[in-house]
Amino acid sequence: MIKMIMSDMDGTLLDNEGNMPEGFDETIEELRKRDVLFVPASGRQYYALLREMGKYADDFIFLAENGTYVKYRGQEVFSSPMKWSKIHEIVAAAEGIGRVYPVLCGKKQAYVQPKWKPYIREASMYFPRYTFVEDFSRIDDEIIKAAFCDCERAQAEELVYPVMKEKFGRDFQVALSSNYWVDVMNLGINKGLAVEKIQEWMGIEPEECACFGDYLNDEQMMHSVYYSYAMANAHPKIREIARFEAPSNEEHGVLVAIQGMMEQGLI
- Kindly list the domain boundaries of the chain, sorted by start residue: 4-79+190-264, 84-186
- Under 8 Å between Cβ of 247 and 231: yes
Provide the 10 A C-beta neighbour count for residue 201. Answer: 13
Same topology between domain 4-79+190-264 and domain 84-186: no
Question: Is 84-186 a CATH 3.30.70.980 domain?
Answer: no
Q: Is the pLDDT of residue 169 over 90?
A: yes
Q: Is the pLDDT of residue 123 over 90?
A: no
Which three-class secondary structure string do you get for 59-101?
A: CCEEEEHHHCEEEECCEEEEECCCCHHHHHHHHHHHHHHCCCE
Q: What is the pLDDT of residue 181?
A: 94
Please tell me whether residue 174 adopts helix, strand or coil conformation: strand
CA dihedral (266, 74, 174, 118) positive or negative: positive
**253: confidence class by pLDDT, cuts 50, 70, 90:** very high
Residues 47-65 have a mean pLDDT of 96
Torsion, Cα 81 85 89 95, to 10 degrees, reads 70
Provide the 10 A C-beta neighbour count for residue 258. Answer: 27
Residues 218-236 have a mean pLDDT of 97
Task: Return the CATH number of the domain spanning residue range 4-79+190-264.
Answer: 3.40.50.1000
Q: Is the pLDDT of residue 135 over 90?
A: yes
Q: Is the pLDDT of residue 177 over 90?
A: no
